[in-house]
Structure 1
Amino acid sequence: MERRIKSLSYIVFGNVLIAFALSTLLLENNIIVGGVTGFGRVLNYFTGINITLVVYIANVTLFLCGLYFMGKKFALTTLVSTFLFPFLLEIFQSQSIFHHYCRNVLLACVLAGLIIGIGIGLVIKANASTGGVDIIAIILNRKFKIPVFITLNIIDLCMLVLQMSFTSIINIVYGLIVVFLCSFMVNKTLTFEKQIA
């Protein structure tokens, strides 16, 4: 029971950190993002397909992959993030107290990368997922022992490269800062202490 409470607290706190940093640092400063959202942005630009639709379809597909490869327990813990994250994101976006406190874009990138990395690391440490591309990273880690942060790095870098054709160079640089700091903190968080069983 104690292990389950600890696992759930990691998932909740991790999602709080991710939603906070994404809403108040990245979106607030119009910093580009990787992952499923970045993929949706690319498809929207080249095809006109709605970003929300792309994200929804991608998340459902990845969730089913997680269920197939990782089992029901993993899928259930991922569902917690699936419903909790949008709720937290809405809270942070709707409350003015969380806005306009960091207008320095470089500082926002650094803080966001560090905070999101810790958040993702905590969720993965609890044998769960925030949904999206980290499901791919977790599956590859379990099946082929590829470190989670390396897979996340590669996917996010690919999304940034795809956005280069319609995004300014400075925004790409800011995106790279977020990606590298995030993957660094994911790795540090995962190796900080023994993973929850």
Structure 2
Amino acid sequence: MSLYKVAKSAVSLIFYPLYRIRVIGKENVPKHGPVIICSNHISNLDPPVVGITSPRDIYFMAKGELFDKPLLGRLLTGIRAFPVKRGMRDRNALRKGLNILEGGNTLGLFPEGTRSKTSELGKPLAGAGFFALRSNAAIVPCAIIGPYKPGSRLTVIYGEPMDMESYRARKASAKEAAEGIMNEIRILLENYNSQHASLDK
């Protein structure tokens, strides 16, 4: 069994009961072909939570400096993370991400680039839009609704894949595409707050 599978099983055993994780819309993640899962970012624990709730194995970007530590770097590589410089302007990371998608795999992104300390959505960086426009991957918006508090309910929602053809047809910028993705995440959050909040009581 790969390190990724071992880590996913171990984290699942801890996180599911600890945070009472509920997953909505898992069926919206395509079973085959390249996929980009784009999520809001409210905690440093978001990557493992998306990793264990997604039906697909995911490659994530991680801060480049983390890979400078030999042991941690090997561990991150083993769980399919790869380094990126802050701001997502790292050409090697962009190329690596595209290669992952060209191989029919799944890439996990947090368009905001950094976690929100208020849980409010921030402005997206252009990186998510770049990958969406430069690949033929299905773009799946994802919303994580906390808090990360033991015993509380943590909900992860996967929305229906976005249609990016209109963005490509009008030659939209990466920034515009990223903003469109963030808007889909915002809709997931707003719909949940208006329709499903009572389930947490």
Q: How high is the TM-score relative to the length of structure 1? A: 0.28
Q: Which has the higher strand share?
A: 2
Higher helix share: 1
TM-score by length of 2: 0.28
Question: Comparing both chains, which one has the higher relative contact order based on Cα–Cα distances under 8 Å and sequence gaps of 6 or more?
Answer: 1
